[in-house]
Amino acid sequence: MAEQTLKEKTAKGFFWGGLNGGIQQLLNLFFGIFLARLLSPGDYGMIGMLGIFMGIATVLQDSGFGTALISRKEIKHEDYNSVFWFSLSVGCICYVVLFFCAPLIASFYDKPELTNLSRVLFLWLLISSTSIAHSAFLTKKLMVRERTKIEVSALFVSGMVGIILAYNSFAYWGIALQTVTHAFVGSVLRWYYVKWRPTFSFDLKPLKEMFSFGVKIMFTSIFGQINANIFSVLLGRFYKEDQVGYYTQGNKWMMMGYNFIWGMVGNVSLPVLSEVSSDVERQRQVFRKMLRFVSFISFPAMLGLAFVAKELIVISVSDKWLPCVPVMQLMCVWGAVMPISNLYTHVLLSHGKSNIFLYNTIILGIVQLAVVVSVLSLGIYYMVLVFMAVNVVWLFVWHYFVAKQIQIRLVNVFKDIMPFLLLSIGALGICGVLIQFLSVDNIYQLFILKVLIVSALYIAMLYFSGAVIFKEALSFFRGRLID
């Protein structure tokens, strides 16, 4: 792949990824506002309690083979075919197991309603297993435009289903059926846009070739799911479902911002880094460019989201959700650096270092669990605080292993990310002082002023500091508008 072609594909991937993320988060915002006003924290808590089971089952049906496909230099029909039949088989097995384990799950949380709810919700797993290979095909071929159409369509249709059901007093059933609908629409559209079709000839050889890499990704992802859902499990077991709901809502708003940012980069970074993995110098340059771009977007967006969290929650979903604001603000700090952590892991995966990815994630999960349990009696705020602190510190661990692969110095990483972090903090600090002088009481005016002032300050700082990534982004978008 020529340099110019690589740059064009990467830039287009960022563009369509950003468009995809932007539209998705707008739809999430629209549907989320309606659902949060119609449903109670307890309704969200009921679904949140099942998140860890859905997450682990999803990992098992993929078993790391989706990522293994994307990381391979050349892929044949047999590779996709083997992954398709494997994912479908595991998806069916997982659903049957979870179906019969539903009463045990309900007993663990002491919520009898979870038996039937989980059996319906877990249909999402069965349906999504039919398009794992197709999703890998879309990512490998950098078909970001098609992914955008698929994900936006699935989100829109499922969101409408959720609102209609919630409006008609279906409570948490609305969220469950919304999730199942999302899987169904997404899978149908992946089959429509991907012209590859499975055949009945099943060959184990491709799976054997990818097993060593894939199984490590699988175990890594399992621990990742445990890490991501540990709060829902602990809160659901030791607190009321309302607390799970507040955590779920705060985390959902953080994830909306994070998904927009990572959506621009995530579907492009691994294929592109894998493409240049044989040239260390070139990969280091590509990595640093991605690092600067992510920092340029992530810090102002996520820290800004924390800055307006209170106004956003009250305006959008009413003051009944105010207890989720502190949780959301802390999670946004972690969300600001999470894309950087993901870029580090993609460098490791591009070099086939899934073993390092696995061991690091396991140790991180053990440390997280230990510190979170140690403050369990202090409440959700301190649990989230120590969780966030551990993950931020762990960036240095990821850097240590990536530095061995591409010989990148920590000081260069700081040079890439610190200017955008400092500019974001500066813009937020100045805005905070100005707001105090203005003494605005109307919450709508306060929200708008915060957004406008911070945005204007950050853009002005970028312009006068001569930030190269800012100029390149402007140049690219001008070109897209002209096209």
**pLDDT tier at 3, thresholds 50, 70, 90:** very low
Instruction: Specify whether 163 is located in the same domain as 302.
Output: no
How much is the pLDDT for 481? Answer: 45
Provide the CB-side half-sphere exposure for 446 (13 A, CA). Answer: 19
How much is the pLDDT for 437? Answer: 82
Q: Which residue among 188, 206, 238 closes a domain? A: 238
**pLDDT tier at 398, thresholds 50, 70, 90:** very high
Is 29 contained in some domain? no
Task: Report the alpha-carbon distance of residue 250 to residue 338 in Å, rounded.
Answer: 16
Instruction: Specify whether 341 is located in the same domain as 436.
Output: yes
How much is the pLDDT for 482? Answer: 45
Is 87 contained in some domain? yes
Nearest to 183 by CA among 284, 61, 275: 61
Is 8 contained in some domain? no
Nearest to 367 by CA among 161, 209, 206, 226: 226
What does each C-alpha distance from 377 to 95, 243, 422 come to in angstroms?
Answer: 35, 13, 35
Higher pLDDT, 44 or 369: 369
Instruction: Specify whether 199 is located in the same domain as 269.
Output: no
Is 280 contained in some domain? yes
Instruction: Specify whether 56 is located in the same domain as 204.
Output: yes
pLDDT at 430 over 50: yes
Nearest to 318 by CA among 249, 369, 370, 258: 249
What does each C-alpha distance from 339 to 55, 306, 433 come to in angstroms?
Answer: 20, 17, 29
- Structure tokens given for 238: 């030791």
Where are the alpha helices (H) located in 394-409, listed in sequence order? 395-406
Q: Which residue among 238, 254, 270 closes a domain? A: 238
Nearest to 218 by CA among 51, 55, 65, 50: 65
Q: Which residue among 238, 264, 285 closes a domain? A: 238
Residues of the domain holding 195: 39-238
Instruction: Specify whether 335 is located in the same domain as 465.
Output: yes
Instruction: Specify whether 387 is located in the same domain as 375.
Output: yes
Q: Can you tell me the mean pLDDT for 424-438?
A: 89
pLDDT at 6 over 70: no
pLDDT at 425 over 90: yes
Instruction: Specify whether 227 is located in the same domain as 343.
Output: no
Higher pLDDT, 22 or 346: 346
Instruction: Specify whether 308 is located in the same domain as 385.
Output: yes
What does each C-alpha distance from 408 to 281, 404, 415 come to in angstroms?
Answer: 10, 8, 12
Nearest to 174 by CA among 35, 40, 24: 35
- Structure tokens given for 236: 């659901």
Instruction: Quote the mean pLDDT of the chain.
Output: 80
**pLDDT tier at 4, thresholds 50, 70, 90:** very low
**pLDDT tier at 327, thresholds 50, 70, 90:** confident
Instruction: Specify whether 188 is located in the same domain as 324.
Output: no
Instruction: Specify whether 84 is located in the same domain as 230.
Output: yes
- pLDDT tens for each residue of 218-244: 777 777 666 666 666 666 666 666 677
How much is the pLDDT for 146? Answer: 82
**pLDDT tier at 208, thresholds 50, 70, 90:** confident
| Residue 33 near residue 317 (C-beta atoms within 8 A) | yes
**pLDDT tier at 277, thresholds 50, 70, 90:** confident
Instruction: Specify whether 288 is located in the same domain as 306.
Output: yes
Task: Report the alpha-carbon distance of residue 417 to residue 170 in Å, rounded.
Answer: 46
Please state, for a pLDDT cut of 70, what percent of the chain lies above it.
81
Is 329 contained in some domain? yes
Is 5 contained in some domain? no
Please state, for a pLDDT cut of 90, what percent of the chain lies above it.
13
- Lowest-pLDDT range, 154-163, 223-232, 309-318? 223-232
pLDDT at 14 over 70: no
| Residue 415 near residue 288 (C-beta atoms within 8 A) | no
Q: Can you tell me the mean pLDDT for 413-420?
A: 92
Higher pLDDT, 206 or 53: 53
Is 259 contained in some domain? yes
Where are the alpha helices (H) located in 39-143, listed in sequence order? 41-48, 51-62, 65-71, 77-109, 114-121, 123-128, 132-140
Task: Report the number of distinct structural domains present in the chain.
Answer: 2
Q: Can you tell me the mean pLDDT for 274-286?
A: 84
What is the pTM for the complete model shown? 0.67
- pLDDT tens for each residue of 122-157: 888 888 888 888 887 887 776 777 887 888 888 889
Q: Which residues, 6 or more positions from 69, have their beta carbon under 8 angstroms from its beta carbon?
A: 75, 79, 80, 83, 133, 136, 137, 140, 210
Task: Report the alpha-carbon distance of residue 424 to residue 273 in Å, rounded.
Answer: 28
What does each C-alpha distance from 62 to 87, 89, 91, 96 come to in angstroms?
Answer: 6, 10, 8, 17
pLDDT at 81 over 50: yes
Instruction: Specify whether 397 is located in the same domain as 373.
Output: yes
pLDDT at 22 over 60: yes
| Sign of the dihedral through C-alpha 333, 306, 40, 151 | negative
pLDDT at 210 over 70: no
